[in-house]
Structure 1
Amino acid sequence: MISILKRFLIGRPLKSTELGEQKINKTKALAILSSDALSSVAYGPEQILLVLITISAAAFWYSIPIGIGVLILLTALILSYRQIIFAYPHGGGAYVVSKENLGMYPGLIAGGSLLVDYILTVAVSVSAGTDAITSAFPSLHAHNVGIAIVFILFITILNLRGVTESASILAYPVYLFVLALFILIGVGIYNIVTGHVSPELHAPIGTPVAGISLFLLLRAFASGSSALTGVEAISNAIPNFKDPAPNNASKTLIAMGSLLALLFSGIVYLAYYYGVTPKEEVTVVSQIAEQTFGRNFMYFFIQGTTALILILAANTGYSAFPLLAVNLAKDKFIPRMFTIRGDRLGYSNGIIFLGVLSIILIIVFKGQTEHLIPLYAVGVFIPFTLSQTGMMLKWIREKPKGWVPKLIINSTGAAISLVVTLMFFLTKFAQVWSVLVFLPLIIVLFYQIKKHYEAVGDQLRITTCEPSAPIEGNVIILPVAGITHVVENSLNYAKSLSPHQIIAVYVPFEREDETLFEEKWNKWHPDVRLVTLHSPYRSIINPLTKFIDTVQRKASESNYQVTVIIPQFIPKKGWHNILHNQSSLLIRAHLLFRRNVIITTVPYHLKK
């Protein structure tokens, strides 16, 4: 039943040779890897205005130079990550760059930040999209958490079906959103040029504003820079591209940067010229669309595509998280299971892990994850700063041809990213302080996992571990609960291994049962030694394990191996297991960590 459901949801398994067919072209990659960055256009300009409104509406003209500053940072990041793509064509992004150029600790800070950030990306994006839907249909507001979970399950299953399939489905809403915003910006600018928008709605650029300060402008710049989250995703996901992967990834990155720059600058300009004031219940994009088109089809088209892309921005996390996890797992900082490809050739463990953690986050915060946005933004700008700094050191150290312009680009990006990161800590410390707690904890966890893997490797390696002592014979202990076909089957198996070293063990709770069983056993198999361990406290585990320990100590003196054979019958129907086999499960669980004791289960299959 489970396999049928899995086949229905995920599809038929793919051969390893079909991996090339799961690579994506530039058009699909632009959609699934840019959705996070492009969706931030819906709230990035609004974040600038929310800071400026604390002075007055007259300060809104500062959104233009602040927007230009964000575009300068975007240009530096795009050019820098383009260099990273060619310098590190196997993916890994900020983690690999920081690790190789700054050292292991900075690399782990970048990797840990991005892992957490991708989880926040999914939770925040889906919650924002759900809010947009329930705002249009207020009766659904009470079901925000349930709706968000359904969306996460849908996107998770879609990604488990493979990169190609998810890209084919998710590309349409992303391009519809881009089309909708271009129409909005185009019509809005046309209305301005033709004089349909009054210039009195906004303060002229250069108008003196009392109370303005450099600190406030930097705070607005940092808030607006939240529109750049997701820019790094393409450099992490290079292995998903068709060959030549670096060239295709580079062109996709340039296309994403160009689209983001055009959409962001268009929305910032229209918001300024229209004199839009941010409101709690209506987004800036919604106000611009209403003033441009009124509440007609185009308005609802823009709102609908905005809600869709906010939800689908989560897919950037699903594309980048598994590949980043693969790089960390190869370096033994997280479990190796993240390097395993699933039935559809995607890194399914990473996809499932991301989905589960995102659902937990939404349940814990009851779908109200908006106050996680600063944490989400600072989680990106820490890796931005580290990767830019790492590339600076790489150019200074290697000095390849044309390295000076590259150094200038990375230095600019590193400086601005550092300013944005510091501004987040200075202005939103109450919301981002947890970064200073969970990042050290994550790094400690990474090192503990690596330490464990190294210790396991040392103990398993033949060249370094102690030679195993020779085994002279086998002592078999067979716990029995009665005289049945199950016990007979296990006894026959035990005799095939060591016919003269078998000890059957029975644990009775009453003396009468002890005597009666011994009589039956001596009639049934007098050739097999029976040991009865009376248990007045009705425990099977304690007397049995003490007896096994005693036998093991004596056997080890003669280089004999102790094997415990546990009889178990297997019901015809799987759910019947709930009704049986609890004792055998408990015995196995208690003996599993006993040294020098081998546990073997001998199944006996029932026919009805």
Structure 2
Amino acid sequence: MPSVTDAVKRVLVGRPFRSERLSETLLRKRVALPVFASDALSSVAYAPDEIFLTLSIAGIAAYAVSPWVGLAVVVVMLVVVASYRQNVHAYPSGGGDYEVATVNLGPSAGLTVGSALLVDYVLTVAVSISSGAQYAATAIPALRGHEALFAAALVLLLMTVNLRGVRESGTAFAIPTYIFMFSILGMALYGFGRYLFGDLPMAESSRYDLTAEHDISGGLTSLAGAFLILRAFSSGAAALTGVEAISNGVPAFREPKSRNAATTLLLLGTISVTMLVSTIALANLTQVRFAEDPSIQLLEDGVPVGDDFVQDPIIGQLAATVFDHFPVAFYVVTAATGVILVLAANTAFNGFPVLASILARDGYLPKQLHTRGDRLAFSNGIIALAGAAVVLVLAFDAQVTRLIQLYVVGVFVSFTMSQTGMVRHWTRHLRTERDPAARRRMKRSRVINSIGLGLTGMVLVIVLLTKFTQGAWLAILAMVVLFANMKLIRQHYTSVSRELEIAEEAGAKALPTGVRGVVLVSKLHKPTLRALAYARAARPSDLQAVTVSVDPEETAALQARWDALGLPIPLTVLDSPYREVTRPVLEHVKALRARHPRDLVTVYVPEYVVGHWWETLLHNQSALRLRARLRYTPGVMVASVPWQLSSSEGMEDRVERSAPGVVRRGTFGPTPTRPDPASPAATTPPPGGSGGEREGAR
């Protein structure tokens, strides 16, 4: 019978995949688009809001520049998409910006990009999910005031879906993503059609007057006005987040990988630009009002609307206006928008684990992030991303306006460094390339990446200038901390590798001249006899049994029984006037090592394996303390010799079924047969018995 934990896991995650099925998880373009592009596509739901919200600080007159701000964002997006099409052809291995920067600018530059992208992926999840929670609260009043908890639950739901595998998550999210795309484009076409026929009504919020929150001295042409426009542009640049995910996910595409990734990038850019421009244009045609502080900025008959006023997002207002006579379409648009904001986080759930895996492979993150789970996804990376996102959502109470200030910085750091690396890449290859056609292609690509470098570098400066004091410094601090930690992790792995490496000339010297066995004895019973048998089977050059005399009468009885059974191994009795067990054994083992420094000492510890947690409370754990201390003694090995009590029967099967990552451990075939409990070869207890008694000593 499967355990409850195993059954729940299989329902949520599914049955494990064999490693050979990795190729079956590769994506077609029609599935890859919603998987990798949902973040950039979903930005249409909040990028226009941020543009209008920022401009509202200067009052209604500032709305006049919103089309130009949107146009600037579009230009940057098209250039970035064109630039990344060069990236996916030149570096199709999936390293993306990290690989480009590492190869062309050095390890520190690559690590800078890696830390920036990891932080940005976490923020992508937090911003998208929080925005989706706010849309849900608009439609479901019962959620108001509980957006943060609802958002955290959505993050965990996304985590569970992604643990089932990239292909499964892509298939599940494809339909909602396409519904969102067609609903926004359909709303735009229908709205422009009504405008051409003079039938487009004004938005509900158009009846309000919008006052400036702060007077901009000198107007928008002043320095303060220009700074406000730049700030609106940097907020709107959130539409570019997610573009880099495709370059990190090239290995997930079907063959030809680079071409399919480049095509998906082109589709992403075209659709995103169309939706963004259409949304901004419709918002101006319907005279939507969207204020940073609506309670005091929006006036009705000269009176502020007050704190009870609920300001709907721009797409919600547009849907209500365009489909004023067709409420079903309104609900489709708003529902699709809320869903896509949640699904946008799926881009990060596909990008973060892959990038973390590559960084772990290179020794900058824990090695566990490089292993695949039962469904061939990088499960540990998925769980780490979800945990970090939940912390952010709860810390910022799922408020998009606060989270958005931390956003974008990381992605433009990676954009800028990636384009710098690509320019150097083409320059390096042009030095050796002699084919005229190839040189022309390289020069064209270098021009595209150079333009991309100029624009992304400029946007990065703008973002830093306009958002640093608004909260971007927190994102930068997180990148610095992550960068430093990854450097320390790499130093640790390098140090350990250097310490463990065996020089060729020292190979023979590294082998011990002999092995001396020590069997710990507290009582003369079946576990002790098994340990003695196992130790003798290992054929050490010297073998002795050791007991600690805590009670003289018990020790004398043990010695008498030992002699009566005629055991062929001498029993050494260690005195302990203070009734200690650990110290006498440690001193004895160290003395043995001192007398024979070229020999290896193996300490055999008999242990009980129990099946219930409460049984561990009925047995002492002195041998556990001994094992922990012996681990730090050079030249000493510790071998556990388990004896399974009847209560542990069946534990092995339950533990094996519930053990995570069966595929990544290489257990692809039938479950191995259970070894004979009486066999001395079973030297390691099943994990379920880790809390059992270690009966090596009293």
Relative to the length of structure 2, the TM-score reads: 0.80
Q: Are 1:418 and 2:434 an aligned pair? A: no
Identify the match of residue 157 of structure 1 among 150, 157, 160.
160
Counterparts in 2 of 1:411 and 1:249: CA distance versus 1, 3 Å = same
- Output the CA distance in 2 between the equivalents of 1:485 and 1:217: 82
Q: Are 1:243 and 2:255 an aligned pair? A: yes
- Output the CA distance in 1 between the equivalents of 2:505 and 2:123: 43
Aligned AA (1:532) = L
Question: 1:133 corresponds to which residue?
Answer: 136
Identify the match of residue 482 of structure 2 among 442, 456, 479.
442
Question: 1:600 corresponds to which residue?
Answer: 639
Aligned AA (2:93) = H
- Output the CA distance in 2 between the equivalents of 1:74 and 1:517: 82
- Output the CA distance in 2 between the equivalents of 1:310 and 1:101: 35
- Output the CA distance in 1 between the equivalents of 2:273 and 2:103: 31
- Output the CA distance in 1 between the equivalents of 2:554 and 2:388: 52
Q: Are 1:210 and 2:211 an aligned pair? A: no
Question: 2:677 corresponds to which residue?
Answer: none
Question: 1:401 corresponds to which residue?
Answer: 440
CA contact (8 A) 1:23 1:240 kept: yes
- Output the CA distance in 2 between the equivalents of 1:6 and 1:156: 13
Aligned AA (1:563) = T
Counterparts in 2 of 1:342 and 1:479: CA distance versus 1, 3 Å = same
How many positions carry a matched residue from both structures? 601
Deviates more, 1:385-394 or 1:290-299: 290-299
Question: 1:571 corresponds to which residue?
Answer: 610
Aligned pairs for 1:40-439 within 5 A? 40-141=43-144, 143-197=146-200, 210-212=219-221, 213-279=225-291, 281-294=311-324, 296-368=327-399, 370-399=401-430, 400-430=439-469, 431-439=471-479
Question: 1:586 corresponds to which residue?
Answer: 625
- Output the CA distance in 2 between the equivalents of 1:398 and 1:302: 48
1:337 Cα offset (Å): 3.0
- Output the CA distance in 2 between the equivalents of 1:499 and 1:18: 45
Q: Are 1:455 and 2:495 an aligned pair? A: yes
SS at match of 2:506: coil
SS at match of 2:516: strand
1:87 Cα offset (Å): 0.8
Question: 1:487 corresponds to which residue?
Answer: 528
- Output the CA distance in 1 between the equivalents of 2:398 and 2:573: 60
CA contact (8 A) 2:116 2:414 kept: yes
Calculate the aligned-residue CA RMSD, in Å: 2.8
Measured against aligned partners, the alpha-carbon deviations of 1:356-399 in whole angstroms (never above 9, x if no partner) come to: 33334334445446523222211111101111122222233333
- Output the CA distance in 2 between the equivalents of 1:191 and 1:344: 49
Aligned AA (2:261) = A
CA contact (8 A) 1:374 1:432 kept: yes
Counterparts in 2 of 1:392 and 1:473: CA distance versus 1, 3 Å = closer
Question: 2:590 corresponds to which residue?
Answer: 549
Deviates more, 1:307-316 or 1:417-426: 417-426
Deviates more, 1:253-262 or 1:9-18: 9-18
- Output the CA distance in 2 between the equivalents of 1:284 and 1:590: 65
- Output the CA distance in 2 between the equivalents of 1:499 and 1:21: 50
- Output the CA distance in 1 between the equivalents of 2:636 and 2:33: 56
Relative to the length of structure 1, the TM-score reads: 0.91
Counterparts in 2 of 1:174 and 1:465: CA distance versus 1, 3 Å = farther
Q: Are 1:476 and 2:517 an aligned pair? A: yes
Q: Report the structure, 1 or 2, having the larger helix content.
A: 1
CA contact (8 A) 1:188 1:270 kept: yes
Overall identity of the aligned pairs, in %: 35
Unaligned runs of 5+ in 1: none
SS at match of 1:530: strand
Unaligned runs of 5+ in 2: 210-216, 295-310, 431-438, 648-698
SS at match of 2:515: strand
Counterparts in 2 of 1:168 and 1:59: CA distance versus 1, 3 Å = same
- Output the CA distance in 2 between the equivalents of 1:329 and 1:458: 18
Identify the match of residue 13 of structure 1 among 16, 28, 43.
16
